[in-house]
């Protein structure tokens, strides 16, 4: 069988086939009636056998006769060069032509090859310019979700303190435990007020950074859940081991020597209305030592400012991060100076807070770690199912993008708010 290219005689787009008789040459003999002995009848009549060149050229190939004579009907494969496809959206589509060697196929007449033509088209993957970050407001504010988890943890911590207050050792009988910090520095009562003023300023700055964050609902949800976890753990450690008072001058309310539901409720309300601070005069119950709630808040505020503050202007927000770190350290120092906590309370609070924050964000920023398995030991944390529920739709790290949080005034909006971000 031989091939008649389409541009030679103007036939259909794919040319024509011609069957050769065995022992005949490529030049047909005239039988006297104008027909060659080796020509096929019908539509292929009168076609001359010509070799196929890669560019459909009419110039004969020197090895055409040998190639065509050795081909069978099933071995002949038309090969045409694939034209380059036009660029689309700035990406070029690459077309490759692969020849796979088939051990069971016959030789196609070409040097070194048995052909099984496969066309491979490499199309570049299209990527989204921006990752979607679902707000999921209902997970942040409604029902059994993070905000109520935070409120519940505060209630548990204050209820634990209300019960511990009745078990605190008598200050006249048991003095403060030996502490290396207390041995070198004297007690300064006003230092606790300075520490709590720094806590209030740092909390407000952290709130503003989270409020102006583009993905504020995700950030608020993380803050609520991390603080809730810390205060739930604190309510347990504070209750199981009660230490003697570290301060000899701090005012403690008289003990009731009886615990009733009404008494517990009134104490919880009093403590929560004062946000757990002694500067407003409502934190008059003692025994909340292991671990330090002041250190928890100061550390978590610094970590969130450092993690979620804007990238630009870079120097300003780097300075803000350093100021937050230094002020938090000073506030912790003042807590110890006022004998508000033992040194062990501060050390435990720092380690528990930083490790919880880092583990949480490591899990949140890696999609593979959100699936429990033998490879993921972080999934053995007791709060992993809660974390997985709140972070299941956030696949990557939240970028440091900020925007005006209100729909007015419009001059502060660079673009219409993205309701799906």
Which of 365, 370, 367, 399 has its CA nearest to residue 387?
370
Which of 58-67, 242-251, 405-414 has maximum average pLDDT? 242-251
Which of 143-147, 276-280, 306-310, 353-357 has maximum average pLDDT? 353-357
Res. 408: pLDDT tops 80: no
Res. 189: pLDDT tops 50: yes
- What does the pLDDT read at residue 40? 44
Phi and psi at 172, nearest 5°, equal -75, -20
- Section 361-381 average pLDDT: 89
- Section 62-71 average pLDDT: 48
- Answer yes or no: are the C-beta atoms of 51 and 64 closer than 8 Å: yes
Catalytic residues: 294, 341, 345
Instruction: Write out pLDDT tens, residues 150-172.
Output: 888 999 999 999 999 999 998 88
- Answer yes or no: are the C-beta atoms of 161 and 288 closer than 8 Å: yes
- Answer yes or no: are the C-beta atoms of 222 and 364 closer than 8 Å: yes
Q: What is the dihedral of CA 154, 158, 164, 169, to 10 degrees?
A: 110
Specify the higher pLDDT residue, 225 or 12.
225
Which of 91-95, 116-120, 286-290 has maximum average pLDDT? 286-290
Tell me how far the alpha carbon of residue 23 is from its chain's centroid: 72
Tell me how far the alpha carbon of residue 146 is from its chain's centroid: 19
Q: Tell me the C-alpha distance between 69 and 25, whole Å.
A: 9
Instruction: Write out pLDDT tens, residues 71-103.
Output: 555 454 455 455 555 555 555 555 555 554 444
Give the DSSP H or E segment for 269.
helix 261-273
- Answer yes or no: are the C-beta atoms of 247 and 296 closer than 8 Å: no
Q: Tell me the C-alpha distance between 117 and 391, whole Å.
A: 48
């Amino acid at each position: 069988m031989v091939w008649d290219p389409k541009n030679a005689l103007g036939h259909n787009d794919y040319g024509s086939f011609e069957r050769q008789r065995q022992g005949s040459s490529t030049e047909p003999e005239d039988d006297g009636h104008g027909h060659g002995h080796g020509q096929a009848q019908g539509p292929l009549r009168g076609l001359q056998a010509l070799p196929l060149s890669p560019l459909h050229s009419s110039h004969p190939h020197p090895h055409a006769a040998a190639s065509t004579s050795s081909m069978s009907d099933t071995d002949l494969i038309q090969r045409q060069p694939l034209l380059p496809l036009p660029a689309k959206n700035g990406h070029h589509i690459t077309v490759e032509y692969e020849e796979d060697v088939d051990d069971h196929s016959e030789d196609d007449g070409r040097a070194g090859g048995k052909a099984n033509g496969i066309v491979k088209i490499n199309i570049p993957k299209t990527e989204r310019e921006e990752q979607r970050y679902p707000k999921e407001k209902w997970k942040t504010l409604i029902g059994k979700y993070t905000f109520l988890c935070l409120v519940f943890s505060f209630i548990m911590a204050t209820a634990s303190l209300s019960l511990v207050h009745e078990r605190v050792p008598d200050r006249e009988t048991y003095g403060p435990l030996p502490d290396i910090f207390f041995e070198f520095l004297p007690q300064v009562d006003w230092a606790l007020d300075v520490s709590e003023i720094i806590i209030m300023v740092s909390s407000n700055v952290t709130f503003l950074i989270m409020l102006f964050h583009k993905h504020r609902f995700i950030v608020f949800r993380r803050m609520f859940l991390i603080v809730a976890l810390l205060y739930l753990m604190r309510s347990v450690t504070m209750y199981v081991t009660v230490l003697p008072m570290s301060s000899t001058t701090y005012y403690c309310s008289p003990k009731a020597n009886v615990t009733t539901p009404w008494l517990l409720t009134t104490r919880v309300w009093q403590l929560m209305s004062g946000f757990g601070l002694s500067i407003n005069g409502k934190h008059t119950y003692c025994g909340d030592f292991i671990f330090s709630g002041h250190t928890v808040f100061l550390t978590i505020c610094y970590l969130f400012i450092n993690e979620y503050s804007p990238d630009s202007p870079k120097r300003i927000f780097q300075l803000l991060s350093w100021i937050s770190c230094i002020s938090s350290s000073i506030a912790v120092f003042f807590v110890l100076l006022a004998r508000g906590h033992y040194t062990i309370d501060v050390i435990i609070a720092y380690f528990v807070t930083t490790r919880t924050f880092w583990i949480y964000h490591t899990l949140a920023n890696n999609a593979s770690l959100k699936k429990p398995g033998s490879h993921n030991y972080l999934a053995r944390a007791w709060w992993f199912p809660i974390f997985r529920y709140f972070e299941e739709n956030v696949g990557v790290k939240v970028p440091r993008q900020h925007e005006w949080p209100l729909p007015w005034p419009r001059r502060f909006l660079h673009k219409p708010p993205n309701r799906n971000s």
